[in-house]
Structure 1
Amino acid sequence: MLMDDGLKAEGFTRLTYELVETDGITRLTVTHDLTGAPNLAVMTSGQADDQPGGGGGGWPWVLSDLKSLLETGTAFSRPS
């Protein structure tokens, strides 16, 4: 997270994507290794959100948009 100096100081984290196909259905598992990044871990868990069920660092929106794109061929659009 380069937009915040505190999070930037924690360094890079690792994302792992795993795709497993079974009987014509593909399952996506995303693992975000936050070892050594405690502040980023709080942010992405949603604990720091102003409202319960908030963004959780944006993962819910990213994965929902990816699902829509894969199912419909159209990305979710947000007003500019």
Structure 2
Amino acid sequence: MSKDTLAVRVDPALRERLDKLADAFGQTRSSIINDALRQFADHQEWQVELIAERAQSIASGDATLVGHEDVLAEFDERFVGKKAG
């Protein structure tokens, strides 16, 4: 697969961290950065698609909406007074 070159400026501390990760995984710095960017793009695309789906559901009247006060009451009922743990 051919790849394009993309120049990105990073601070020295981040470059050092990326180099250490690359060394630990036996990979190149470039492959570590590619993996990170791919994961970021996958997550952001998922979020954008989910928001669009939810907006469409609201616009079409198919969504069940819950008011802020109801959410707070449900939260209080479930979690207030419980300890983490």
TM-score (norm: length of structure 1): 0.26
Asked which structure has the greater CA Rg, the reply is: 2
Structure of greater relative contact order (alpha carbons < 8 Å, 6+ residues apart): 1
The structure that is helix-richer by fraction is 2
